[in-house]
Amino acid sequence: MHHVLALDFPPVAHLIRWPNFWLKDSKYFAVNKVVLEMWLAVIVVGAFYFIAARRKALVPTGVQNIAEMAVDFVQNGIILQTMGPEGLAWTPFMLMLFSFIFVLNVFEIIPFLQMPVTARMALPMFMALLVWVLYNAFGIAKQGPWHYLKSSVAPPGVPKAMYLLVVPIEFITHFFVKPFALALRVFANLLAGHLILITFAVLSTALFTSTKVGAVLPGALLIALTGFELLVSFLQAYIFTILTAVFIGGAMHPEH
């Protein structure tokens, strides 16, 4: 226990590490709360689109309406803005990426779950590696290996001597920093949000047990922050998807 201003604040490892309750001794396949939430997210997203697509009404209602809004958002807000009309073939992939990450994120504020899956590095890193493989594979397929390497590490219009400096930087950026930052962005945002919510929850509880009235302000802030975290969940899913679109679009059509 850390004591912050005479409050008992649990160490960070306690807030994101959950006990294994199935396949406990397995090093890689142990199941804990985060893994269960991940499976739940797969079921929720799958069931949502399954129900939405079951009865294809001309005038959408209910679930179908929300699903069509999501498709419209991904097509008009993400793909057309970054990849152009030929990127529309990517709609299923981008839609799944967006929906899945949003559901994983929003578990942060769902009562009784209250732990974002993306606050552990594993799943963001896996998804970023998937994106890394995709944009490299499509870049090589569309441009050929040599031309793809040249267009991604040597931007045109730079003085010749500067390439000594630019090429190593661009190489590290393109092949290492991009996927790492992509995973880190969603991970760190959700971890920070989770910690902030816990901080205010601990503060409110401690002040309520000691002074009753003192809990009003942090309690109100906790509710406001919960709303803010809903926005963050949406925004991070959007940013992950739009960056994926930018990377894949950029690998397929380099700047000349």
Partner 1 sequence: MLHLLATQDSGELLKGLTAVGRGIVYGGAAIGPGIGIGLVVGNAITAMARQPESAGTVRTTMFLGIAFTEALALFGFVLAFIISG
- Contact residues for partner 1 (CB under 8 A)? 12, 77, 81-82, 181, 184-185, 187-189, 191-192, 235, 238-239, 242-243, 246
Toward partner 1, which CB reaches closer, 40 or 121? 121
74-78 contacts, C-beta under 8 A, 24 or more apart: 74/98, 74/241, 77/238, 78/238, 78/241, 78/242, 78/245
Coil/strand/helix, residue 253: coil
Toward partner 1, which CB reaches closer, 82 or 143? 82
Q: Least Å distance between CB 93 and partner 1?
A: 19
Residues 82 and 245 sit within 8 Å (Cβ to Cβ): yes
Strand partners, 29: none
Give the list of residues 6+ apart from residue 181 with CB closer than 8 angstroms, or none.
none
Q: Least Å distance between CB 121 and partner 1?
A: 9
Toward partner 1, which CB reaches closer, 21 or 180? 180
Toward partner 1, which CB reaches closer, 81 or 91? 81
End-to-end C-alpha distance for the chain, whole angstroms: 57
Toward partner 1, which CB reaches closer, 11 or 156? 11
Give the list of residues 6+ apart from residue 222 with CB closer than 8 angstroms, or none.
197, 200, 201, 204
In 158-183, which positions are buried (b, 16+ CB within 10 angstroms) versus exposed (e)?
eeeeeeeeeeeebeeebeeebbeebb
Q: Least Å distance between CB 246 and partner 1?
A: 7
Toward partner 1, which CB reaches closer, 135 or 187? 187
Residues 34 and 117 sit within 8 Å (Cβ to Cβ): yes
Q: Least Å distance between CB 214 and partner 1?
A: 26
Q: Least Å distance between CB 178 and partner 1?
A: 10
Q: Least Å distance between CB 181 and partner 1?
A: 4
